């Protein structure tokens, strides 16, 4: 069954997503005003509505499909059975989602967006399979929040990130699946916050010898064990901020060991 939008330029098939587009979905298709701010790094993205509902301005007044004019833009819409689609996902330089209200993003839509060097969706409406992260650029910065993101960590075990922050995801797996060279490629933050279904040990966190900060607040991991493991794996200089369930500890490494303040 198809639903008809009020806009002549929009598709009437709610199951159809155009090739090269990504979706912004409503959290509740009750006709309430939804908002999502997208940072993309490019301009001229086509913004359209598919299904029952329409694009609107910040006051809720219906507007026609349009093209984005800046590197960051607001999308407002009302839905009773449809979604927003945004063009040219293959040319995106980054995706930074903020200012959300009653909207959610599917990371599966970016599984072939090779140009994305930063994917930041720090809100609970994010969903999809974590394996889709294989499709973005190597060395990317990824920050994702939301139990709707599922799958197994092994599916991205060979993917190198410069910064990786997972917050309350529904993923499963074992950090032991990540090879040491992949872990060593991470040069900024590693955060595994509230990911209850991941198996993580201090010895496995010790593989991230080039990380500047490590956060792990579940599984009973203690910061001192992580510092010991980092040192055992060759960490002999610099500082690492390590956060466990008791708080944050800044550890300084030298050739003779490590100390904390």
| CATH number, residue 63 | 2.60.40
- Residue 140 pLDDT > 90: yes
Domain shared by 126 and 225, yes or no: yes
**Is residue 10 over pLDDT 70?**
no
Residues 209 and 111 in one domain: yes
75 pLDDT exceeds 90? yes
**Which whole-number Å values give the CA distances from 199 to 172, 174, 188, 203, in the listed order?**
8, 5, 21, 12
In a domain, residue 216? The reply is yes
Mention every residue, 6+ apart, whose C-beta is less than 8 A from residue 198. Answer: 153, 171, 172, 173, 174, 175, 192, 218, 219
Q: Please report the beta strands in 169-246, taking only residues with DSSP state E, as ranges in sequence order.
A: 173-174, 189-193, 198-199, 213-216, 239-244
Alpha helices (H) in 140-243, listed in sequence order:
180-184, 202-205, 223-232
Mean pLDDT of 51-62: 96
Residue 185 lies in a domain: yes
Quote the CA–CA distance of 101 and 256 in Å, as a whole number.
51
CA 39 and chain centroid, separation:
13
- Please report whether residue 94 resides in a domain: no
Domains: count for the chain: 2
Residues 236, 168 share a domain:
yes
Cα(242)–Cα(258) distance, integer angstroms: 12
Domain that holds residue 158: 106-260
- Sort residue 111 into left (φ over 0), alpha (ψ -120 to 50) or beta: alpha
Q: Is residue 1's pLDDT more than 60?
A: no
> Does the residue 100 lie in any domain?
no
Write out pLDDT tens, residues 151-206.
999 999 999 999 999 999 999 999 999 999 999 999 999 999 999 999 999 999 99
Tell which wins on pLDDT, 55 or 218: 55
Residue 178 lies inside a defined structural domain of this protein? yes
**pTM as predicted:** 0.89
């Amino acid at each position: 069954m198809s639903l008809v939008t009020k806009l002549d330029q929009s598709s009437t098939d709610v199951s159809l997503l155009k090739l090269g587009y990504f979706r912004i979905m409503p959290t509740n298709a009750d006709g309430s005003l939804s908002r999502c701010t997208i940072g993309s790094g490019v301009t001229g993205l086509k913004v359209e509505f598919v299904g029952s509902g329409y694009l609107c301005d910040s006051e809720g007044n219906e507007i026609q499909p349009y093209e984005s004019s800046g590197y960051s833009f607001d999308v407002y819409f009302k839905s009773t059975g449809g979604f927003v689609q945004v063009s040219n996902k293959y040319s995106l330089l980054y995706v930074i989602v903020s200012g959300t209200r009653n909207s959610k993003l599917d990371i599966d839509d970016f599984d072939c967006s090779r140009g994305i060097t930063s994917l930041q969706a720090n809100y609970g409406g994010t969903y999809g399979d974590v394996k889709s992260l294989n499709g973005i650029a190597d060395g990317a910065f990824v920050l994702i929040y939301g139990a709707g993101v599922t799958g197994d960590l092994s599916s991205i075990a060979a993917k190198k990130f410069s910064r990786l922050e997972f917050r309350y995801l529904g993923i499963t797996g074992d950090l032991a699946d990540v090879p040491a060279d992949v872990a060593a490629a991470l040069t900024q933050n590693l955060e595994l916050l509230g990911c209850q279904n991941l198996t993580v040990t201090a010895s496995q966190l010790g593989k991230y010898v080039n990380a500047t900060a490590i956060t792990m607040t579940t599984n009973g991991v203690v910061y001192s064990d992580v510092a010991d493991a980092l040192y055992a794996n060759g960490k002999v200089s610099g500082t690492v901020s390590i956060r466990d369930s008791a708080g944050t500890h800044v550890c300084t490494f030298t050739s003779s060991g490590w100390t904390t303040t």
